[in-house]
Amino acid sequence: MTPAARLSAAIEVLADIETRRRPASDALKDWGLAHRFAGSGDRSAIGSLVFDALRRKASSAWIAGADTPRAVLMGSLILAHGWDVDRLAALFTGERFAPEPLTDEERVALTTRTLDDAPAWVAGDYPEWLDGQFSAVFGESRAEELSALAARAPVDMRVNALKATREKAMAELAHLGVVPTPHSPLGLRINVPENARAPNVQSEAAFQKGWIEIQDEGSQLAAMLAAADPGMQVVDLCAGGGGKALALAAQMDNRGQIFATDSDKRRLAPIFDRLTRAGARNVQVKGPKGKDDEPLRDMRGHADLVLVDAPCTGTGTWRRNPDAKWRVRPNSLDSRIAEQAAVLDRAATFVKPGGRIAYVTCSVLPAENDEAVAGFLDRNAGYAVIAPAKAAADAGLGELAAFSSPAGHGLQMSPKRTGTDGFFVALLRRTS
């Protein structure tokens, strides 16, 4: 395919996403099935164009003076790729498979409009209805913070301390240009250049031998802050595919027990192969047998630590899922808030006196973070927040103390602050 034909294809996919309100990955897959002549390089290039346009959808529409798929793509080529109007005009020719030529109005808009007077939600590329939430957590810097959440994410990995050291894994993966992550002592990072494809880490021998797991540094830090010590009895209440359970197992050096469960046992399916590859032997997977089954009833009042990796809107992962931010709606936020309250109250039933709950979200919304913790404290007497600075120091991560959340209930990470995805971590101790 020619470069111009790829632009036309990207506009077509963006239009499909907007019309049918569905994930970009689904729209791209269907486009590929309907256009089998397109090679893997074409599909990859079209995917990059689409995702970059979705990352900068609001700001791209602003400088293009319209919010059509065509305008959004043109704006993103200028903002994300540094093109100018002449380069656009050279490909927007209307010739075979090329997009229609630029209109006079488009030329004027693309050469004169800037983001200097754009509102925060445009400059930061996020839905306008969330501006109050982002203002509450980031204040006047919210446009910068959310702009960082619109950038491409690196590939982060956690070294599995049960099988390797960071130095050993770095040597094995040196050909990928890995570097240490800034905060996690077990983290490795691949900074993927613009317009380049991320390497297939899962094909590497280091991955297949269980030396590394793909995991954002923020998720690694959340597991470290939970502070699971060898010999503990730990409940992972929303285990999903097991990423944090694996991290906890390594922290515990395979001593003690981790009981991993999830309200939907189908989400637990990947955990078994991952446990085997990692050499994690202290994890018991307990899926519910029915709608009202409590697979961990015997653990009530016995857990030293309950990890709640709560269901959330995923606003902190927008770097990796840029299309998701344009699909989130107030009712979906309300649903997540209700689920968070329910899972926190359930977690409290497992904690023994003196034990802890580690509440984690991949969100930067106060409604899912500080406010969720405040609501739990109102409903559950006998719990107290462990000061974020103390939690960070106890985990050997004292530098994170600077990133306390607005209400002081936890630590708030973000791409701009910590170079990670957006994660919130709060520790709650049972005092009676």
pLDDT tens figures, 191-228: 988 777 889 999 999 999 999 999 999 999 999 999 99
Whether 317 and 189 map to the same domain: the answer is no
Structural domain boundaries, residue 253: 217-430
Residues 316 and 415 in one domain: yes
Let me know whether 223 and 324 are in one domain.
yes
Element (H, E) at 430: strand 424-430
SS3 category, 362: coil
86 and 224 in a common domain: no
Asked if 198 and 155 touch (Cβ cutoff 8 Å), the reply is yes
The predicted pLDDT at position 292 comes to: 85
Residue 127 CA to residue 390 CA, distance in Å, equals 35
- Residue 384's pLDDT is what? 97
260 and 185 together in one domain: no
Residue 149 has pLDDT above 80, yes or no: yes
The residue whose two tokens read 């602003």 is 62
Active-site residue, from 222, 224, 362, 426: 362
Mean pLDDT for the stretch of residues 76-80: 95
Tell whether 263 and 364 lie within a shared domain: yes
User: How many structural domains comprise the chain?
Assistant: 4
At 291 the pLDDT is 83
Confidence (pLDDT) at 391: 97
* Catalytic annotation present for 238: no
Q: Report which DSSP code applies to 258.
A: E
Q: Are residues 30 and 107 in the same domain?
A: yes
Measuring CA to CA, how many Å separate 375 from each of 334, 339, 340, 346, 348? 14, 13, 10, 14, 13
**Whether residue 21 is found in the same domain as residue 163:** no
Q: Does residue 127 register a pLDDT over 80?
A: yes
Going from the C-alpha of 333 to that of each of 14, 325, 401, the distances in angstroms are 25, 12, 28
The mean pLDDT of 76-93, rounded to a whole number, is 95
**pLDDT, tens digit (0-9, with 9 covering 90-100), for 287-315:** 999 888 999 999 999 999 999 999 999 99
Q: What is the mean pLDDT of the chain?
A: 96
Enumerate residues 6+ apart whose C-beta is below 8 A from 258.
Answer: 228, 234, 235, 236, 245, 248, 249, 252, 282, 283, 284
pLDDT of residue 314: 96
Place of tokens 């500080």: 370
Structure tokens that stand for 280 in this block: 């994690």
**Do 91 and 135 belong to one domain?**
no
Residue 234 and residue 123 share a domain:
no
**Residue 378 labelled as part of a binding site:** no
Same domain assignment for residues 424 and 326: yes
Which of 103, 131, 148 is a domain's end point?
148
Closest CA to 350 of 428, 228, 235, 258: 235
pLDDT at 197: 82
CATH number at residue 420: 3.40.50.150
Question: Helix count (H) and strand count (E) of the chain?
Answer: 19, 12
Per-residue tokens: 293 = 């089954």
Domain-ending residue, one of 118, 139, 166: 118
> 172-176 — which CB contacts under 8 Å span 24+ positions?
172/204, 172/205, 172/206, 172/211, 173/204, 173/206, 173/212, 176/201, 176/204
**Same domain, yes or no, for 202 and 126?**
no
The H-assigned helical ranges of 183-216 are 205-208
Identify the pLDDT of residue 4: 96
At 273, which amino acid appears? D
Span 149-168, average pLDDT: 97
402 contacts 389 by C-beta, under 8 angstroms:
no
Q: Judge whether 394 is annotated as a binding position.
A: no
Single residue among 73, 96, 118 that ends a domain in this structure: 118
* pLDDT score at 290: 86
